[in-house]
Each structure stands twice: as C-alpha cells, then as structure tokens.
Chain A
Amino acid sequence: MKIKDTPIDLNKAILQKGPKFRSHKVIFEENVADLKPTMSSLWFCLVYIVVGLFLLMLAAIVYHNKKQLDFTLFLGGIGIAILTFGITLVMPFVKQVTFDKDRGTFKNNIDRAVKLENIITFQILNKMVTSKHGLSYPCYELNMLTKNGRRINVLNHNDIEQLTSDAQMLAEFLDVELIDLQHEIIL
C-alpha cells in the first residue's frame, strides 16, 4: 500500500467558527488540568432550553383550555426543536476535557484518547469568523499536535488573553513547546 505523504498545515484552523466570548478556562488541580465552561456560555445555551420548555408549556395550556390541536402541535413542535437545540448546545460545554498526568492521557470525549507523552506542541492560531448576515470577529484556537500527526482542538474562543494564559500554563504543566502561529488575515 502506498502511503500518501501529506504535509500538515499548522496554519490552518481546525474549526471554522467559534464563539464571540470566553467559553472555557483551564483549571489545574494537582496532576489534572480540566477545561471548565464559563457561566456566561452556559447561560446563553440555557435561554434555548427555557424558551423550548416555555413553548411546550404553552402548547399544553392551549390544548387544555381550547383543545386546539393545530396550534398545540405547532407550538409543541417548535418547542421541541428549540429545546433539542438548546440541549445539543449545552452538551459540548458539559463534556469533560481533561489532561490527566496520573493516567497519562488527554480525553475530550470527542476524539480518541491521546497519551500525554505523544503531545509534541501546543499552537495558538487566529482566524476570522465571517458571515454575510452576522458579525465578523476574530477568534482563536489552541490546538495540539501529536507525534503521529494528529491535530486536536483544545480551546476555541474569542478571549485571546485568557487563551494565551491557559496555553502557557498547559505547556508548562505538560512540559511541551508552545508555538504562536497567529498571522495577519487578509480578506
């Protein structure tokens, strides 16, 4: 079998989008570093859950008081859609992302677990989140590169100061090199 020699482009963002606020910060406890979601990010996701539940409650009231099936289904359908959406938004925030020195692994419950000894570098990248009908703003990624060429996103948010600080502490914690790959973006 011929193995294709594909160069790894470290300057390429792993994720196209990212939030316009600080979504996580790293908390260190002895030999474990955890990524904790910030309250503000959870709060905005909860808006959807509250609205979804509110619409479901309205649907129940409409059916109870008026027996109006079409409006009940309409409200209920939209309520379920918004509630489901809110739950899917919350899920990534509550997933545990951990660098555990005792176990020697990194786990994010999305990618395959990585042995800490296989992490070569951390990289800070900048990108511009653009949209024709929405705000365009800078966003930043903290990615890690493993010995076998995997690139895994660790952090992805808009607060560069917090991300840089977290990246430095993580690099120190794991004794791994940190590279700043921020570059000028020309649209």
Chain B
Amino acid sequence: MKPDQMTPAEPTDPPRRPLSRAALRRNRIIAVTGLVAVWILLWGTFTWANVIGGLVVATVLLAVFPLPPVTFAGRIHPLPMLRFWLRFLRDLVVASVQIAWMALRPGHTPRSAIIAVRLRVNTDLNLTLTAEALSLVPGSLILEADRSTGTLFVHVIGVNSRDEVERFRRGVLELEARIIAAIGSSDEQRRVREVAHPPPPADLEGVPT
C-alpha cells in the first residue's frame, strides 16, 4: 500500500499526557455551556424551558459523541483578549480590501508562497486557534499542520520576495503571541517572551520542545 499522503504527521504524534479529573470536568462544563448557548440562540428566547431542554440535549450529545481531550492550562485575560479581537477585525478588513484590489487590478497575476511557521507553544489548542485565525483572514490559508513539532504550513497570496516571506512569518508569531497573551498560562507566556526569535524553520526536524 502506498503511504497515505493525507496524514504525514500521524506516526510522529507525541504522547499527550492524560488529563486530570478536574480538567476533564472543566472541559465538560465548558462544552455543555457552549451547547446550551447555541440551543438558546436557536430558539431565540431565554426561558427556563429552553435552558432545561438545552441541558438535556447537550448531555445526550456529549454522552453519544464525546469530545477529544483539550489541554487548557491558562485562563482568560480580558484586556489582551480585547486587543486580540480588535487586531483580528482590523486584519480581516485590511486583508479583504487588499485581496479585492488584487482581483480588480488590471494585468496583474499575484504570486504566492507556502511558508512553514514553527509556533513556540506546541499545544493543540494554540495550534488550532492560530490556524483558525489565520484561515479566517483572507490571504492566508492553512495547508497542513504538524502536531509533533507544532508547525503550520501556510499558503500566502501576494508575496513577492524572501523579505516578505520573513515579514509574514514574524506576523504569524505575533498573532500567536496575542493569542497566548489572551488565553495562555503564565508558563506559556514566559516561553513566548523568552523565544523572541525562534529558530528559522529550516530545522523542521528540530529538538522536541
């Protein structure tokens, strides 16, 4: 059988520590709260019948389709969170206008690049959130994520030189720093500060973090 090219990262998955009971309980509470919120939004009115109905549905859902464990060591910091969202909205608008201009500009074929960015905090949550934020902004698109090294492979449009590649890489690391500042633990935040200039991702094999 030919090796499955879809999941090259799978065999090198690092062993993840099992979660403690408290973390499991907290994850479940967050999931139930989220599902009940969606249920109430669906019905459109906040009544006790809706809340109880939502709780029943959420419990059944989580029993039938259990969620994969997520490690979340930090806590939510409101001010950096606000800063992250404002910057995200700004990026969204700026990038959308840029791509629209790129499309309408006559006689111009945009060039692009596929860039590997090695994140400094290698947790599933950080990897997912950074990838989501990058994907939502037009102009950058996640092609592949390598869990073992915490590396994202990003396709970027409108990149013309190596300089711009490096600038984009720095931009992604700044985005990661904003996310960690918003939801990371103090341990993760120290790590982001210490590794201000991460090694260039030529050594993707690298030492395990």
Report if A and B associate in a common complex: no
Binding site for A on B (CB under 8 A): none
